[in-house]
Structure 1
Amino acid sequence: MKALRFTAWKTKPSLQEVERPSPAPGEVLLKVAGAGACHSDVAVYDQFDESTVGPQLAPAYTLGHETAGWIEEVGEGVLGLTKGDAYLVYGPIGCGHCAACSRGQDTYCENAAQTPFLASGLGKDGGMAEYMTVPARNLIPLGDADPVAAAPLADAGLTPYHAIKLALDKLQGGGKTALVIGLGGLGQIAVQVLKATTAATVIATDMKPEAMELAGRRGAVTVSGGDAQAERIRELTGGRGVDAVFDFVGLTPTIQLAQKVVAKQGRITVVGIAGGPVQWDFYSNPYEAELTNTYWGTIEELHELAALYRDGHIEVDVTRFSLDHALEAYEHLEKGTLLGRAVVVPHPDAPAAATDAVREQVAMGV
């Protein structure tokens, strides 16, 4: 079968022929419907090396930690799963027996330093292939929902959902406001999750007019960048500031913007991994305002998010690429030319695939 493999540090992945895997006890073989391309993948093959990350991410393996597909085969001991049913894959894989893993919070596994990999697609063969094996525990049912469009929910959806859920106490009741900074794939989903789960006024900002227009159609009040950006946001809150800010960029200027507009006793959650440093001290920030970050989410939260998706509360903006053109998906990702997420579709019979036609449209800037 074909698979997009990460083979060496500081080296772009390559499409290779590999043996189709077989499920071990407790696993299933998944026929991949779609695999999302993520900026984390770019960091793995373009920025990291053995001196900056642990051995869990060392090559070689198949990329793809945002995956959905259909049950093809079940391993020994797996019960209750039917061939052909569609599932979303919870990517993180911890030790399975520490307190964090018992809560379904594999991202914070207490034994992560001793595990052989971090997740499917991050150290373990992932979904940028025709087939992949997955622990049965890590499957989230999709019912009749489109698994191709659902694939990015595994990270681009779960990450903002987790951040928002942790901040819900700041958004309870009337008159609350939330700010979404950065309206790429994660930010667009964040706007929808906030609208579906809170009564807060959602303010959104980005440098791309088309991203702001899309967020506006989803119910956000949009604010353009520029010198008066912070003042305009504070005006929308009646001067009191924003109760919960979600920064999906993480650069120094975006975090500084969050600090300028957050309310007293508000919360700033930095979700973007740009790594921008900022100043935080007693005098330069509102009283009792929190500054924190988050990472991915729990398997229980992915079940909750998938339910919102199945019920039609969330739509995912995707551009589909055939597996043969997976490298082009990453090229568009690196250049920032996509609105939403790139999803690689390995099988031509995937629902509403039309992968080559869509790929050609994207390449022409449509």
Structure 2
Amino acid sequence: MKAVQYQTIGELPVVADIDIPEPGPGQVRLKITAAGLCHSDWFLMGLPAEMYSYGLPLTLGHEGAGIVDKVGEGVVAVKPGDDVAVYGPWGCGRCSECAQGRENYCPFAGELGITPPGLGSPGCMAEYMIVDDVRHLVPLNGLDPVQTVSLTDAGLTPYHAIKHSLDKLPAGSTAVVIGTGGLGHVGIQILRAISGAVVIALDVNDEKLAHAREVGAHHTIISDSDAPAKIRDLTGGIGADVVFDFVGATPTLEIARQSVRIDGSIESVGIGGGVLATGFGSTPFGVSVRAPYWGSRSELMEVLELARTGQVHVTVEQYSIDEAPDAYHRLHEGKVTGRAVVVP
């Protein structure tokens, strides 16, 4: 089968021909119908050799959807032909966090060598993949996999961050979204769907801001050193109740620091490598700063329900599996609008 693999440190991924995997006891094989590209893949591929620990060759892809093709011994909860999405943050399945469906915060996954697909385990950017346990499959129930697959990360991650901050986002509140790309444009829609906040979106050019308005932003501002003053103007000098930074670079975190109100919150979602100093004299009084990671299984089900009712959709650029390396290049260059999806 064809698979998109990261094979050499510092180089683009390649399309390789590898064996079709067989499911073991308790496992499920999917015939992939869609696989999403993510900046997390580029973070991984951008690591120097001394910091890279994910194994080579690595089949990429942690946003996956497919049709159940074959099940291993003991699997009864799904059957061949079922259409499913893959819940990516795999945990031990036995701890208190996993028991709540919060495998994204499993404290034992690292020491047990459990890694998400495409981020250590063989991923979904292939014609077939193995899912380790049926609990990591969520029914699509007829949702279009190409339009839906990115919600397993680009929807789930902002949903998790926003849901955590909902108590600060009643009617009359203000939420700032920094970065309106893959995660941010979905985050804007989620804010409009489940909160009462006025949404202010920031990005680096007018084209991206036009897209942000199309998906529901009330106000848009160029993301630069003038942005905090403009945010305060829009909020009567008070600042934003919550800032969601989907970039996570030092300049955007500085915008967040200068834009958040007293007793507000900053959710640093992006993995841009930035660091934010917090504490007395740095962030305003009472401000909490959090670095959320992915989301829970139940939250993924909730995100899919938002898609099913038409409240959330993903802007998608579609590629074949042979075009995946070029799609990664376009993603790295910032030329993808919304989310890139590979269809094997």
CA-CA distance at 1:218 after TM superposition: 2.4
CA gap 1:101/1:226 in 2 versus in 1, 3 angstroms: closer
Contact 1:140 1:306 in 2 (8 A): no
Q: 1:197-222 CA distances to partner (integer Å, 9 max, x unpaired)?
A: 01111111111212211211222121
CA gap 1:117/1:60 in 2 versus in 1, 3 angstroms: farther
CA gap 1:119/1:226 in 2 versus in 1, 3 angstroms: closer
Greater mean alpha carbon deviation, residues 179-188 or residues 304-313: 304-313
Query: Is structure 2 residue 128 aligned with structure 1 residue 131?
Result: yes
Please give the alpha-carbon distance, in whole angstroms, between the structure 2 residues aligned to 1:273 and 1:223: 22
TM-score under structure 1 normalisation?
0.89
Contact 2:77 2:134 in 1 (8 A): no
Partner of 1:284: 282
Partner of 2:146: 148
Q: 1:308-359 CA distances to partner (integer Å, 9 max, x unpaired)?
A: 112211110111110111111111111111111111110xxxxxxxxxxxxx
CA-CA distance at 1:105 after TM superposition: 2.0
Query: Is structure 2 residue 194 aligned with structure 1 residue 197?
Result: yes
CA-CA distance at 1:31 after TM superposition: 1.0
Contact 1:6 1:59 in 2 (8 A): yes
Aligned length: 342
CA gap 1:222/1:8 in 2 versus in 1, 3 angstroms: same
TM-score under structure 2 normalisation?
0.94
CA-CA distance at 1:139 after TM superposition: 0.8
Deviant stretches of 4+, over 4 Å:
none
CA gap 1:282/1:145 in 2 versus in 1, 3 angstroms: same
Please give the alpha-carbon distance, in whole angstroms, between the structure 2 residues aligned to 1:38 and 1:258: 23
What pairs up with 1:265-280 in 2 under 5 angstroms?
265-280=263-278
CA-CA distance at 1:13 after TM superposition: 2.2
Contact 1:94 1:115 in 2 (8 A): no
**RMSD across aligned positions (CA):** 1.6
Partner of 2:43: 43
CA gap 1:227/1:109 in 2 versus in 1, 3 angstroms: closer
Partner of 1:316: 314
State the one-letter code of the partner of 2:4.
Answer: L
CA gap 1:254/1:226 in 2 versus in 1, 3 angstroms: closer
Query: Is structure 2 residue 118 aligned with structure 1 residue 109?
Result: no
Q: 1:253-299 CA distances to partner (integer Å, 9 max, x unpaired)?
A: 21111111111110011111112233333123221011221111111
State the one-letter code of the partner of 1:341.
Answer: R
Residue aligned with 1:79, SS: coil
For structure 1, the 5+ residue unaligned runs are 347-366
CA gap 1:24/1:316 in 2 versus in 1, 3 angstroms: same
Please give the alpha-carbon distance, in whole angstroms, between the structure 2 residues aligned to 1:3 and 1:295: 27
Contact 2:155 2:303 in 1 (8 A): yes
Contact 1:15 1:324 in 2 (8 A): yes
CA-CA distance at 1:113 after TM superposition: 2.8
Contact 1:91 1:120 in 2 (8 A): yes
CA-CA distance at 1:48 after TM superposition: 4.2
CA-CA distance at 1:227 after TM superposition: 5.0
Identity %: 45
Please give the alpha-carbon distance, in whole angstroms, between the structure 2 residues aligned to 1:227 and 1:114: 42
Partner of 1:352: none
Contact 1:66 1:155 in 2 (8 A): yes
Contact 2:193 2:311 in 1 (8 A): yes
Partner of 1:52: 51
Q: 1:55-76 CA distances to partner (integer Å, 9 max, x unpaired)?
A: 4x12223111011111222222
Partner of 2:337: 339
CA-CA distance at 1:248 after TM superposition: 0.7
CA-CA distance at 1:194 after TM superposition: 0.5
State the one-letter code of the partner of 2:214.
Answer: R
Please give the alpha-carbon distance, in whole angstroms, between the structure 1 residues aligned to 2:81 and 2:14: 29
CA-CA distance at 1:226 after TM superposition: 4.5
For structure 2, the 5+ residue unaligned runs are none
CA gap 1:87/1:61 in 2 versus in 1, 3 angstroms: same
State the one-letter code of the partner of 2:204.
Answer: M
